[in-house]
Homo-oligomer: A and B are copies of this chain.
Amino acid sequence: MAQQLTIKQIAALAGVSAGTVDRVLHNRGKVSQEALAAVQKVLDGQSYKYNLHTSAVAFKKTKKSLKILVSIPSSEKGEYWDLIREGIEEGFSEYGDFDIESQFVFFDQFDSLSCRDAFDSIAEAPCSAVVVGTTFVDETRYLCERLNKRHVPYVFVDGGIEETTPVATYKANQISCGRLLARLMDGLTPQGKELVLMVPRRTGTQMSNNSAIRKAAFKDYFPENGKLRVIHEAQFSTVGHEAVVSELKSFLGEHPNVGGIAVAISSSYLISDALRDAGITGLVVGGFDVTDGNARCVREGTLDFLINQHPERQGFYAVESILHYLLYGTPDSTLPELLPIDIVFKENLRP
């Protein structure tokens, strides 16, 4: 059983003081060649394990309070972005031994202007770090430029953005998500039946990056695996329930051989509810994320399965990694930036 090394022990073994070891471990302050060599010799083989909680106790003494800003899309309770928010809050609670002052700035995920406003309000606000929900590419990039200038670290949740330098990015592998959706829809729908990939009708802005990747991976799956399947693509309205009902009725009326519907976004319950109210049954329906609405449909049997991207854990990890960075100056290499992807049926839905 490898007992945990303490800074004091390292100091004793290396013949230096605890302060010096701290300086070596976290690259703070200057250390002489000899001291560095001595400490590294001790560390050679054994490994020192960071502990945010015990560090926090000491850290809190002087640095009275950390201010962390969070800017993510707003969302109904229990829906996708709200689950991310919950994970972030859990992170603040778990690390409550820090003095964290947090402030949430929400924006409308379908309105780039509201995103711009939100980002404008935090770009120059005094803070220790920022958690950003990546939705609009250009707006996010501009925010990051401004944060970089101020040397304010930031983490992304839900997706990455090229040409930015976040401390970390927590997301699910979208290609895997798309392929998995295809694999399940193909496996669960009888051979010979057609499939539809449902995407929301864009309201003014371009389709979100994640959806686009998932969609492409879904479609690629079939030729890549030698599957002969007719795949349709259809758009649905995200605003009116009645509109979805009639859109579905007319689409399925025109394509009577459709056996399954894949919904590439997390408001999959909109489709399930519309199918139910249209009196259409017998289709395989798959969607994304265990939101309240989706979980209800799975329980009711109108949604067959969900692919879970663990939004809560994305939020939790974001907080953990930002604290790690603030204390030690390096990202936490033990946290997986790509989250596991789970599949949830009625039979393994948690109560």
Contact = CB atoms under 8 A, between A and B. Distances in A.
**How extensive is the interface on chain A, given as a class?**
35 or more
Contact of A350 (B179, B307, B340): B340
A304 B176 CA distance: 16
B342 A340 contact: yes
Interface string A43-68: 00000010101100100000000000
A348 B180 contact: yes
A81 interface: no
Contact of A1 (B92, B97, B344): B92
Interface of A is mostly: mixed
Contacts of A96: 3-4, 49, 51
Interface stretch (A34-42, A181-189, A246-254): A181-189
A350 B173 CA distance: 10
Interface of A: 1-4, 49, 51, 53-54, 57, 92-93, 96-97, 99-102, 176, 179-180, 182-184, 187-188, 190-191, 304, 307, 340-348, 350
17 contacts: A1-B92, A1-B100, A1-B102, A3-B96, A4-B93, A4-B96, A4-B97, A49-B93, A49-B96, A54-B54, A54-B97, A176-B348, A183-B345, A183-B346, A183-B347, A343-B343, A343-B348
Given A51-B97, A53-B53, A183-B346, 16 more contacts: A1-B101, A2-B93, A3-B96, A4-B96, A4-B97, A51-B53, A53-B54, A176-B347, A176-B348, A179-B347, A180-B347, A180-B348, A187-B188, A340-B342, A342-B342, A343-B345
